[in-house]
Structure 1
Amino acid sequence: MYKAMSEIKPIVNALKRSKVGAILLMIQIMITTAIVSNAAFIIYDRSTYLQQETGYPEDEILYFAITTFGEDIDLSQLFEETETTLREIPGVIDAAVIAALPLSGSGSASGFDTLPHDQHQNGDNRNVRAAYTTGDDHVLNTLGVKIAEGRDFRPEDIVVTNDPSMLAKVAIVSRAFAEEIFPDENAIGKTFYSGNTGVEIIGIVDTMKGPWLKDSRPNNVIIFPRVEARMYQNVAVRATAEDRASVRKSIEDKILAQYDKRVVINMRGMDEAKAGYNAADLLMLRMLVVLIVVLVMITALGIFGMTVFNINKRTRQIGTRRALGARKSAIVQYFLVENGLICLVGLFFGCIGAYYLGGMLLREYSLPALNNLYIVVTALSVLVVSLLSVLLPANRASNISPSIATRTI
């Protein structure tokens, strides 16, 4: 250790004579450290996001829309018969008409209050944002979620109407919404308000995501027992995972056989809808992985190349040291210490750069604050890669023959 420390001064003097290469390498290490630490943290954050629990059996659920253009039929009765037809398909667990499809990237959301709208100024109102959808007493089973507290919808709860002002009086909500709008209280039996219309919470589901996983409140979801007879309807069908493909093939034929003046469009699995919604995040994750690999490889090659260059330039000095009795390990140690000094300076400024780059990403793109552990791990990893990159050329240098070296004078 003492011997290695004693060589620092001549190493520094040697670097001063060829400082351009050393400075460029320091800058390269600095940039790599700053970018890789932030990229690795973003990869972890996005991976956690992509693997989050949604509460639904995604591989069992199919979505599609039906556009009805015939005017010679009662739409309410038609869709009730359609649901029955779908439930009779072998492998189908349940089916329901549903207003907004979870994880699809398309839906509705609003703020809901603890007081009626006309009493907001007279009391302590709490407003909580939530996504919402509507369906009948089959919708929860179709979505594969279970009541944790309270009860499911009953047929008498369902409001069948085309009047947008006619709202349901009860709702089933996610636990996240229940705990936010009624903190430290049991929400079952409590009333929240949409405008001046009171809605009683009759059931709570532990985990239930809305249409947007990137929403400010992705876990806040409300389901109202309401069905509208419309020419355009979204339908969800839940089948066993092994039967979903065969069910998918038979749905359109069954529906058109029942009534042929309509079109089935945009059929997809819930997992496929989620994948489409998250496609940009997955692409970004893969690009960041490629970026990390490329930066680390370029840095390793830069260190390797600089070491080879220095060895070729110092062949006579290495030969002289070998002739004076220097061991092979001393030659290797010299280049390791030289590279270590360059790397440590680059890492010092790289860590500072990583911290400020993380702060900029936080401010400009609302990304999570960079965990400093990622800076430390990245710095240690770059240091290890740096030292490994110099080993091969340093070992070659240690094998230089003193007699061959002297003939280059």
Structure 2
Amino acid sequence: MIKHLFKLIWNKKKQNFLLITEMFVSFIVMFAVFTLIVYYYNNYKQPMGFDYDNVWVANYTPPPNIQSNDSAQLFHDVLEKMVKSMPEVVDMSFMSNNVPFSMSTSNTEISYGDHRNVRTNIYTAEDSYKDVLNFKILEGRWFTNADIVKGRDIPIVINKKLKEELFGNETATGKIIGENMIDKSQQSARYRVIGVADNLKDKGSYQAIENGMYRNIDTGAMHWVGNIVLKVKPNVDAAFEGKLFKTLSNAIGTSIEIEHFDKKLVTKNRIMLVPMIILLIVAGFLIINVSLGLFGVLWYNINKRKSEIGLRRAVGASGSSVSNQLVGEALVLATISLILGLFFAVQFPLLNVFDLASNIYLWAIAFSVLFIYVLVIICALYPGKQAAAIYPAVALHEE
């Protein structure tokens, strides 16, 4: 039966070439769609790693009149006392611009042993940052103000992902890693790992966890730090936000912007979903065109092959066998297109394209194959049912 179906398709290869091409392109597009869906879903399943409820961030521009390190330290001390004196504030921390769910990033390249040019995000915050976000320390400890000393090695805390990439199953605490300076004339920075923190998914719900390292704010960094991450008590109202805004405006004298982490997360996730939405729209139009084309071809074949179908019915073929033949021909066409598509799709996990896990591509291939087969069956069922309803006498009489 299958051999017969292949023979029928081969005899009409010119007519079927365009349909095979359409299904091949549909498979490639659906492979891209399902790859993105599986990738986002795997990232979404990962825990956030920190508490972002009731956490706000106040963004401001540091005053330009602060020049010396002592004046910058004094300014931040006064500002911190003012914010912490508010009863609605649980805790706070100054931080660099790359706060969670923001559009700002700060990264560098580090090396350890055979691991060269490992890119990682670098976060600068106070010792209270861990308490504000309430994340776990898996190994060692978090830094304290006592670690702010002038020395050769800068104490840092790295996240679990960076620890696994650099040290594997070894203990990370006490290890020395170096920073690859862009300007080779500068002296390479050296970092001493004092702790390992849990992974924080601070780029959004659908973003993969990235390497991260945390260092304490020293007096030199006080000049450019312009973000206050603060945890507030539950159920605080807009009146407190206005009070906080006024307090910071009077103290800093520059523009202030207060954002809520939960709202920033929603905005970040919407931006992350834009490529998915665009790809789904393109795929939707393509699938509709393929469906209409497949449906039209099968309908045309029924009208063109009425005599053949009538003759088969006259010699004893059942309506279900005629219907199954048409559905089978459509499935063979789909199989040919899928074989071509699989040849290109399997190159992605083999060549590790886009540095994604192989199981993401394999799941995407499986979903794409299933989708194409289901689509073909749905498009072929009704024309097959119409072919099964053709009466032999009517078909032969028309011929």
- Asked whether the two chains share a fold, i.e. TM above 0.5, the reply is yes
Q: Write the distance in 2 (CA, Å) between the matches of 1:286 and 1:211.
A: 19
Query: Which of residues 275, 299, 303 in structure 2 aligns to 1:312?
Result: 303
- Taking a change above 3 Å as real, the CA distance of residues 142 and 69 of structure 1, as seen in their structure-2 partners, is same
What is the number of residues matched between the two proteins? Answer: 385
TM-score (norm 2): 0.77
Contact 2:43–2:208 (CA under 8 A) maintained in structure 1: no
Tell me if the contact between 2:123 and 2:212 (Cα under 8 Å) persists in the aligned partners.
Answer: no
Equivalent runs, 1:150-189 vs 2, <5 Å: 150-158=140-148, 169-178=154-163, 180-181=165-166, 185-189=170-174
- 8 Å Cα contact 1:131/1:211 also seen in 2: no
Of the three residues 320, 336, 341, the one matched with 2:332 is: 341
**Equivalent residue for 2:323?**
332
Q: Which runs of 5+ in 2 are unaligned?
A: 180-186
- Is there any run of 5+ residues in structure 1 with no aligned partner, and where? 115-123, 160-164
The C-alpha deviation readout for 1:21-80, integer Å capped at 9, x for no partner, is 322222222222233224312321233345544423234332232225474995433322
Answer whether contact 1:150 1:203 (CA < 8 A) is retained. Answer: yes
SS in 2 for 1:262: coil
Question: Equivalent of 1:98, from 73, 79, 95?
Answer: 95
TM-score, scaled relative to structure 1: 0.76
Equivalent pair of 2:58/2:256 in contact (CA under 8 Å): yes
Contact conserved, 2:119 with 2:211, CA < 8 A, in 1? no
Equivalent AA in structure 1 for residue 127 of structure 2 = D
Q: Aligned partners of 1:324 and 1:386: how far apart in 2?
A: 29
Asked if the contact 2:201/2:207 (under 8 Å) is kept, the reply is: no
Aligned counterpart in structure 2 of residue 148 of structure 1, from 138, 142, 145? 138
CA change 1:62–1:347 in 2 (3 A) is: same
Asked whether the equivalents of residues 98 and 106 of structure 2 are also in contact (C-alpha less than 8 Å), the reply is: no
Q: 1:390: how far off? A: 1.2
Q: Which residue of 2 aligns with 1:120?
A: none
| One-letter amino acid of the structure 2 residue matched with residue 101 of structure 1 | N
> Could you say which residue in structure 2 is the equivalent of 1:219?
211
Shift of 1:308: 0.9
CA contact (8 A) 1:106 1:212 kept: no
Q: Give the Cα–Cα distance (whole angstroms) in 1 for the partners of residues 108 and 222 of structure 2.
A: 23
Given candidates 362, 367, 392, the residue that maps to 2:382 is 392
Greater gyration radius: 1
> What RMSD in Å do the two structures reach over aligned CA positions?
4.0
Deviations 1:282-321 (A, max 9, x none): 2112233334444444333322211111111122333343
Distance of 1:166 and 1:263 partners within structure 2: 36
Secondary structure of the corresponding residue to residue 148 of structure 1: strand
The equivalent residue for 2:78 is 81
Distance change (3 Å), C-alpha of 1:310 and 1:201: closer
Find out whether 1:299 has 2:303 as its counterpart.
Answer: no
Aligned 8 A contact 2:127 2:216 in 1: no
Distance 2:317 2:218 in 1: 87
Is 1:135 aligned to residue 125 of structure 2?
yes
Q: Cα deviation per residue 1:88-144 (whole Å; 9 max; x = unaligned)?
A: 445432111112434434343334566xxxxxxxxx797665433333332221233
- Does 1:33 find its partner at 2:27? yes
**Structure 1 residues 2-41: aligned runs within 5 Å:** 4=1, 9=4, 15=9, 18-41=12-35
